[in-house]
Chains A and B, each alone.
Chain A
């Protein structure tokens, strides 16, 4: 599609949507959001990009094949699940590390970093990668 307005707006929108998608991903554990929603938002941004500038341009911008991104996401999700086994717990048991938390205050969780977060990141990448795999391939085909 050759529309200057769409082209110009797309650059801005993709960046904003991507930023917003990461925001939704990270806040997902406590507020509406999460990997599924984040991945969908991120993918929507690039779908817009593909419509405005063509699938090839999107592929160049992504730099990695979307199906690779999806597979890496699946790998991260699996790894974060297997991670618990090293601590003698069942698969997919969440492992937590409260960075900088005050141990005397039960409500101070510091900056929580967890295998669950990595799992959600995996979900994000899978959804993001899978949708772009589909849309880009279909767009190139038509």
Chain B
């Protein structure tokens, strides 16, 4: 695939670009109308049946949690698509990019809005697949492909576990509707399948949200174009797992298993990721690891589960989406305009790129948690919630303190350093990006500031309804504020700033030391991943060598032997053929013609099997075919009999034509294999007979036949019931079948008329070398 700079750039931006901006903007505007009812505490549900018989409904649940997510997805989506019109507008594959991005957005919106777990799972998988396509967008780079595959395999495996969990939960709760499941928390927690359900759900959520030990795919996923990183891998998709945990909290939460798993895994991810963030030199990687940290913190606070913790979680969720998307977009502009993201090469860009700096700076301040930005509120409420916990207080608070300090440092690294100081030399001369690019960070920055100054807005619209939905209690009063009194959390904030400033001052030597420590650590997840895949491939190669002998006879033998064992064992175990045949009854009324036909067909079949002459075989096959047609005639199936006779004629014609150029039959098989093959053949034949006799002993269900008989004339105006079934009652089937006939004919035609190959001898030698 051609790279953007390798071809004459064609401007595709036009319609694809504007449509891609209009769609999320329209959805965002549409969703705004639900703010008022949801803020009033009444979730909205809409829906219609999809697969009614399986209890799969396409239903929508709009409550505080899903609306918050949906607004973030469509709102940030609007900014990101707008940004992409300039960032990738000249890329030859831009329309493809837009298509994937829209696919992802639909999947993500469906995921958060679905009220049915099956539908939720389908959308979940759509986000996995579109994320795969987007990470691998630069498909000509091996690194992109590897990262894309890694993300797909990790999240896809988790998705499978999640599906199993969905099915278990659906059976445990008796419904797949979330609105029903969420009211049955006590029953589900008492259910014997509770533990496996939690494990399976968390497997899905942890892989999706890159929680330790599945964290390694997310930083690699930064191989995607920056708008994708900003959108999928910070603001939306990776929060899918967080959404799932938050969503299921009323049903699965408030048990020890849930508490400790989430708190420990989330906390570990938080600390681990913030340390890794500090040691990066690529600013995008710094942001990637701080995203991981945020996901860990969100997970931890969902697990903590107190109303205060949930409030902190919801606040931090919004806060983080706002500043992290802005920062990703910012670093994208820097990369786009200077040609590098290396922290050591970027200094003093502020004067050249003032608007980018402005947007980035507000976001960075929010990330550092400095008042009056909303980031400060987010951090304060996490501290407050952590300090109020009955159990795990030290662990949670300590974790979040360490993370906040390191986040302060990361904010410095990713915004302060590149934009201040003396202008450095960069691969391209830096200049301000186009408006479509800097508007995104700026708007997001303004929101961070606005929500910080007026916390009541975010509280009333997003955080309070979200908290109610996650906590499952609509009476809890959420109260967000910027500053009210000097308390423990506030003091902790001050300590955070001081420690953060100190660490930022020494962050470069710290980075190098940290790097050495991490290098020395023998456990490497990314490398371990490669080894796992290699092992899998080796295993596949090993078993392929055993199973795929390449000898057709052996394959067919395996297939039939498996059939014989499978059916035979089932018959034996189930006593399925426990009946007696009344031979007198079975043979009563048989006439000469019946015996004659059966003998003819049997003889023809046996002769075909044992002859070594082509002509004999063809004639014997003809006898079988005609005999079968006679059976159809005797037993009142004129249509079938005519068809069978005509097809028989055509088979003989085709075989006769082909025989002109085909060799003689030759030896069928090694002499010593003959008894084994014959034994298998006789076994299968006997089994078919036994099963048929068994079926014939049972009662015949004539309901369909009766319907066709009565409706054939009265409803379909036909007197030949067989034909009416074919062309009217089951016309869709018939249509599919004639489609198959056409395809078979065209394939054979293509095979005969297609390219001619060279003679085989040379070819075989080529391949063998």
The interface of chain A, by Cβ under 8 A from chain B, is 28-37, 40-41, 43-44, 47, 51, 67, 70-71, 73-74, 77-78, 81, 91-92, 94, 96, 109, 112, 114, 116, 119-120, 122-123, 126-127, 129-131, 133-135, 137-139, 141-142
A142 touches B658 (CB 8 A): yes
Residues of B contacting A91 in the complex (Cβ-Cβ under 8 angstroms) = 732
B720 touches A134 (CB 8 A): no
A126 touches B738 (CB 8 A): yes
B738 touches A94 (CB 8 A): no
Mark each residue of chain B from 653 to 682: 1 if its CB lies under 8 Å from any CB of chain A, else 0.
Answer: 110011011000000000000000000000
Please provide the chain B residues from 710 to 746 with a CB less than 8 Å away from any CB of chain A in the complex: 716-720, 722-724, 726-728, 731-732, 734-735, 738-739, 741-742, 744-746
Instruction: State the Cβ distance, A77 to closest chain B Cβ, in Å.
Output: 6
Q: Pick the contact of B643: A31, A36, A96, A119 (CB < 8 A).
A: A36
A34 touches B735 (CB 8 A): no
Q: Pick the contact of A44: B649, B661, B717, B718 (CB < 8 A).
A: B649
Residues of A contacting B731 in the complex (Cβ-Cβ under 8 angstroms) = 81, 92, 94, 116, 119
Residues of B contacting A73 in the complex (Cβ-Cβ under 8 angstroms) = 738
CA distance A109 to B716 in the complex (A): 12
CA distance A32 to B719 in the complex (A): 9
* A34, A114, A122 interface centre (most CB from chain B within 10 Å): A34
Residues of B contacting A67 in the complex (Cβ-Cβ under 8 angstroms) = 745-746, 749
A70 touches B720 (CB 8 A): no
CA distance A114 to B731 in the complex (A): 13
Q: Residue of B at shortest CB range from A98?
A: B717
B723 touches A34 (CB 8 A): yes
CA distance A73 to B654 in the complex (A): 23
B742 touches A71 (CB 8 A): yes
Known contacts A36-B726, A130-B741; decide if A81 and B735 are in contact (CB<8 Å).
Answer: yes
Residues of A contacting B653 in the complex (Cβ-Cβ under 8 angstroms) = 47, 51, 135
Question: In this assembly, does B646 line the interface, its C-beta being within 8 Å of a C-beta of chain A?
Answer: yes
CA distance A129 to B749 in the complex (A): 12
Residues of B contacting A32 in the complex (Cβ-Cβ under 8 angstroms) = 638-639, 642, 720
Interface residues on B, range: 35 or more
A44 touches B646 (CB 8 A): yes
A120 touches B727 (CB 8 A): yes
Q: Residue of B at shortest CB range from A112?
A: B717
Known contacts A67-B749, A74-B738; decide if A34 and B654 are in contact (CB<8 Å).
Answer: no
B720 touches A30 (CB 8 A): yes
The 9 residue pairs across chains A and B that have the minimum distance between CB atoms: A130-B745, A40-B646, A30-B719, A32-B638, A92-B731, A126-B738, A29-B718, A34-B723, A133-B745
B717 touches A70 (CB 8 A): no
Residues of A contacting B638 in the complex (Cβ-Cβ under 8 angstroms) = 32
Known contacts A135-B653, A141-B752, A142-B658; decide if A37 and B646 are in contact (CB<8 Å).
Answer: yes
Instruction: State the Cβ distance, A3 to closest chain B Cβ, in Å.
Output: 16
Q: What are 9 A-B residue pairs whose CB atoms fall within 8 Å in the complex?
A: A29-B727, A31-B720, A74-B739, A116-B731, A129-B745, A138-B748, A142-B658, A142-B660, A142-B661
Q: Residue of B at shortest CB range from A24?
A: B642
Residues of A contacting B716 in the complex (Cβ-Cβ under 8 angstroms) = 94, 116
* B642, B646, B727 interface centre (most CB from chain A within 10 Å): B727
Dominant secondary structure of chain B at its interface with chain A: helix
CA distance A47 to B648 in the complex (A): 13
Residues of A contacting B727 in the complex (Cβ-Cβ under 8 angstroms) = 29, 34-35, 116, 119-120, 123
Q: Residue of A at shortest CB range from B745?
A: A130
CA distance A35 to B642 in the complex (A): 12
Q: Pick the contact of B726: A34, A78, A112 (CB < 8 A).
A: A34
* B646, B716, B719 interface centre (most CB from chain A within 10 Å): B646
Q: Residue of A at shortest CB range from B734?
A: A123
Residues of B contacting A47 in the complex (Cβ-Cβ under 8 angstroms) = 650, 653
Q: Residue of A at shortest CB range from B751?
A: A137
B657 touches A139 (CB 8 A): yes
Residues of A contacting B720 in the complex (Cβ-Cβ under 8 angstroms) = 28-34
Residues of B contacting A141 in the complex (Cβ-Cβ under 8 angstroms) = 752
Instruction: State the Cβ distance, B308 to closest chain A Cβ, in Å.
Output: 56
* B638, B647, B650, B742 interface centre (most CB from chain A within 10 Å): B742
Question: In this assembly, does B753 line the interface, its C-beta being within 8 Å of a C-beta of chain A?
Answer: yes
A131 touches B745 (CB 8 A): yes
CA distance A78 to B736 in the complex (A): 10
Instruction: State the Cβ distance, B410 to closest chain A Cβ, in Å.
Output: 58
* A37, A78, A81, A141 interface centre (most CB from chain B within 10 Å): A37
CA distance A37 to B647 in the complex (A): 9
Instruction: State the Cβ distance, B647 to closest chain A Cβ, in Å.
Output: 7
A137 touches B728 (CB 8 A): no
* A73, A91, A123 interface centre (most CB from chain B within 10 Å): A123
A114 touches B738 (CB 8 A): no
Residues of B contacting A70 in the complex (Cβ-Cβ under 8 angstroms) = 741-742, 745-746
Instruction: State the Cβ distance, B238 to closest chain A Cβ, in Å.
Output: 42
Q: Residue of B at shortest CB range from A32?
A: B638
Mark each residue of chain B from 747 to 760: 1 if its CB lies under 8 Å from any CB of chain A, else 0.
Answer: 01100110000000
Instruction: State the Cβ distance, B546 to closest chain A Cβ, in Å.
Output: 39
Q: Pick the contact of A134: B723, B726, B748 (CB < 8 A).
A: B748
Instruction: State the Cβ distance, A65 to closest chain B Cβ, in Å.
Output: 10
Known contacts A31-B719, A33-B720, A77-B738; decide if A131 and B752 are in contact (CB<8 Å).
Answer: no
CA distance A139 to B658 in the complex (A): 8
Residues of B contacting A29 in the complex (Cβ-Cβ under 8 angstroms) = 717-720, 723-724, 727
CA distance A35 to B723 in the complex (A): 9
CA distance A134 to B750 in the complex (A): 10
Instruction: State the Cβ distance, A7 to closest chain B Cβ, in Å.
Output: 18
Known contacts A32-B638, A36-B643, A36-B726; decide if A133 and B749 are in contact (CB<8 Å).
Answer: yes
Q: Residue of B at shortest CB range from A41?
A: B646
CA distance A34 to B444 in the complex (A): 69
A130 touches B654 (CB 8 A): no
Q: Residue of B at shortest CB range from A70?
A: B742
CA distance A71 to B752 in the complex (A): 19
A134 touches B745 (CB 8 A): yes
A126 touches B741 (CB 8 A): yes
Q: Residue of B at shortest CB range from A78?
A: B735
Q: Residue of A at shortest CB range from B746?
A: A67
Residues of A contacting B722 in the complex (Cβ-Cβ under 8 angstroms) = 34
A126 touches B742 (CB 8 A): yes
Q: Pick the contact of A43: B642, B650, B719, B753 (CB < 8 A).
A: B650
B739 touches A40 (CB 8 A): no
CA distance A31 to B735 in the complex (A): 21
CA distance A89 to B580 in the complex (A): 50
